[in-house]
Chain A
Amino acid sequence: MSTPGVDVRPIRNAIGDSHFCEIFLNDVKIPVANLVGAENAGWQVAQATLGAERGLTMLELAERLGHAGFRWLVEECRRTGVLQDAVVRDELAQFEIEITGLRGLCRDLVERSAAGKAGAADASVVKLYYSELLQRLTDFGAEIGGLAAHTQLTKPISSGWESGSWVLDFIGSWEWTIPGGTSEIQRTIIGERGLGLPREPSVVG
């Protein structure tokens, strides 16, 4: 990254952090020995990297959501005195059910990827479902947390996507529904590669 010509400019995101950067390469010279994979086959390498991210990473994220995330949510409901509310209990049960389903999906994706049997859209199903579930769950946390949740101006250091700073978690959940292929892109991938639906006709200019 310190090679001359590499210019890294952090991008400040919606919650004030900088997880993403712009990287500019100006006449950067890299030794041939540093080539990963074959020349002009970089897309496959990138896809494999993304595939690994969507497999094991998703498994970890789902387990975190199922353990710490859900427990914090129940704790938040207890703390704010709404745990006995029938509507709240119904929402909590729905989240527990969906997280249980997500964890099953993730375990299955990892197993099938390891066996080389993953379907073309399996990773997209998991990414889409996780990101939108995370968004709904953190939204609910922010609602339960009330105004007090708005006074938490920072997230705990090295916390996950459900840190218990619910407003920031909620705003931060768009970091999952947009990057790595937006939810809309995932739905198109699922429709076309997963279900075999006809592609959008390309616009001939």
Chain B
Amino acid sequence: MSGRFDEFHDELRTVAGELLAKDAVVDWPLLVEAGWTGLEAPESVGGAGAGFREVAVILQEMGRAATRSAYLGGAVLSVGALVSLQPSTTRDALLGDIATGAVRTAVALSRDGQEVQAAAPFCVEPSSTGLRITGRSEFVPDAEGADQLLLLSNAADVPVIVVTTPQAVGLSVTPQPVVDETRRLSVVVADSMMVDESSVWRFDGDPEARMRRLLDRATVAVACDSLGLAEAMLSATVSYASVRHQFGRPIGSFQAVKHACADMLVRISVARHLVSAGVDAIADDSADATAAASMAKSYAGAAAVDVVGKAMQLHGGIGYTWEGGVHVYLKRAALNRSLFGSPAAHRKQLAQRYSQPA
């Protein structure tokens, strides 16, 4: 990450870390108060005018604290989607409302929540009574309780965003409870929902490329979270292994434990570089952002499960208890691994670069 922002990022990280350590649940007003919902929105609409590198700092800290919040869906994906659309007064007003917290939105951008190929889950068709929207998007982050929904849709094979309220006739938002209790996911279904032309917002630039970047952004965002989870669990394990005694010595002095911790640090160090490269690629809108995102997600997604799994093992009995809390991290790490593409799916996508399939 760019050197001249290091100091600012360290400060942001410290402030975020302190705030998030207070409570595992951070509700929308608190996100607004912290200035995080509008972090990436332009200053002209009331945002902070920061970039994805700053957003990544918050995401990583939320992973570290296993925070339950609507930040991913309500801010990271929503603002990311809106700023990639053609500027308009309605778009700017919505961005401004997210920054002030007046409106909370969510983005339905994937059909099954885990495909790595970008494909709009909804379809816009003209009819005699207006535009008809049909489609289904599963595992949509933070759609439950959102004031507005942004549906990634195909309009005559061109990706667009359809903006709607969840109360619209023909639209349903149904929570999908998952083992990880720190995430709120929903299935969004549009069954012949009627909208008018003003609800269809177009991408700025190449629509296919913008849609691709939106999925890349989601992919890297989850990788940031996984990195934070892994870092927190290594830190917790080192602390525990330093004070927990067995056979008259701290268990961390045994090589079996020490070397396992060393392996955790190595995996995290590698993940940190790949995630950092992914964040830079999204922030700079690099041509190879999709590959960088896949590398970050594939490695960090798998590494976090591995590291948190080791953390549970090295904590011993207390690690497996509900009260011990390691399970919260393991469940979130496992969910993250699947959300927006498994490590294997991302590797398969990367491997397409070695040769065209026979």
Contact = CB atoms under 8 A, between A and B. Distances in A.
Interface of A: 74, 77-78, 83-84, 86, 89-90, 92-94, 96-98, 100-102, 104-105, 108, 121, 125, 128-129, 184, 186-188, 190-192, 194-201
B273 A192 contact: no
A90 B351 CA distance: 7
Contact of A104 (B261, B277, B355): B277
A192 B258 contact: yes
A203 B299 CA distance: 40
Nearest to A183: B259
The dominant DSSP class at the B interface is: helix
Given A101-B271, A104-B276, A125 B265 contact: yes
Nearest to A77: B354
Contacts of A93: 298, 346-348, 350-351
Given A90-B344, A197-B241, A108 B253 contact: no
B269 A105 contact: yes
A198 B348 contact: no
Contacts of A190: 261-262, 265-266
B258 A197 contact: yes
Given A89-B348, A93-B348, A197 B253 contact: yes
Contacts of B242: 196-198
The 10 nearest A-B residue pairs measured at CB: A104-B273, A93-B347, A191-B258, A101-B270, A190-B262, A89-B351, A187-B262, A197-B252, A187-B259, A198-B253
Give the interface centre of B234, B266, B274 by most chain A CB atoms within 10 Å.
B266
B263 interface: yes
A130 to B, nearest CB: 11
A84 B347 contact: no
Contacts of A197: 238, 241-242, 250, 252-253, 257-258, 261
Contacts of A125: 265-266, 269
Contact of A98 (B270, B346, B351, B357): B270
Given A187-B258, A190-B265, A197-B258, A84 B358 contact: yes
Interface in B118-138: none
A156 B167 CA distance: 70
Nearest to B263: A187
10 contacts: A84-B358, A90-B344, A96-B295, A97-B350, A101-B270, A104-B274, A104-B277, A187-B263, A197-B241, A197-B261
A108 B262 contact: no
Interface string B314-352: 000000000000000000000000000000101110110
Given A97-B295, A101-B273, A187-B263, A198 B250 contact: yes
Contact of A97 (B259, B274, B354, B355): B274
B269 A100 contact: no
Contacts of B347: 89-90, 93-94, 97
